[in-house]
Structure 1
Amino acid sequence: METAQSRRQTAPGAFTAFARFVLCGGGVGLASSFAVAALASWIPWILANAVITVVSTLLATELHARFTFGAGGHATWRQHAQSAGSAAAAYGVTCAAMFVLQQSVAAPGVVLEQVVYLSASALAGIARFVVLRLLVFARSNSQSAAPTRTARPALTTMALTAAPVGPAVFCRTA
């Protein structure tokens, strides 16, 4: 029989979660760059980029749910939608930064463009990490605030009520 202690998922600390975020996101990003290039040899680049962006966002969200933030299972559709929204916002930040650069400097060099793009990407990535950690994969979302009660044997119910547990014990995603 599974105890409340063994079912409890512990969220990784902020530093560990951020390191996992960089590893997962960076790994998916690197693989995506190769996948876009490979797919673009068969279909137009813009279509290849769109397809790979969707697939890589879905994959990264699953990795973040299972590994980065320790949510304990598959990402929900809501989490996928919120993650896609944060990815779109990050994309908008990098586009805006590049637009401002193009408007500010007549002929920016490759190094300046890379510095601006990578800086904007880093800032957007940090903001995305915060959004995913505090909002998308937070332990206190409304779905975990309202525990689902099921019929339990009296002995198990007594053990659960006697132990000091939080709402996370009652909620698990399949």
Structure 2
Amino acid sequence: MTREVFEFELVFELPSTENDAYSLSDAVFAAGYEDAVIGTGNPKLLGVELEAEGTDATDAILSAAKNILRNLPAGTRLREFRPDLVSLADVAKKLNVKRQALQKRAEMPLPSLGGLYRIDELADTFGKIARDGGRKTRLNLSQAMKWLAAGKAARQLNARLTMQELDPLSLELRSKPNF
């Protein structure tokens, strides 16, 4: 099976103890993600943006999340997978265009919540643009493909977290939701 590279973010909820930003960064690097971008601006959250390889996006995302979680303080739980809901500004940045140019070049799907868009719907839209060719292909789609490709899996994994089918402490699938 072919392995692909996916770009995504993981947001971890940290235990209420004091957490040193350098120790958290070291934990991510020790898990094998030396190129990850680490966000420690909120003392209760750890954001990790990274690229990981897998046979599919779900495999890559879950494998990376489990590897990192093993190195973080006990009681850390996975809070969110990204990209899921994104702003036009997020998308424009990934495509290396201005937000206004993005709106002019692409027929965007309807926003979902508060002006945010479902990443998998955007990926479908940009896939159609790439297939159709023409002037609209000036969007830098190749730069964003690893990020767009992770979107559907991130949305599905977030749904599993919400439905309590995925344990946020171990990232193992549960047989039944705990309601």
TM-score w.r.t. length of structure 1: 0.29
- Structure 1 or 2: more helix by fraction: 1
- Structure 1 or 2: more strand by fraction: 2
> For the pair shown, which has the larger CA radius of gyration, 1 or 2?
1
TM-score w.r.t. length of structure 2: 0.29
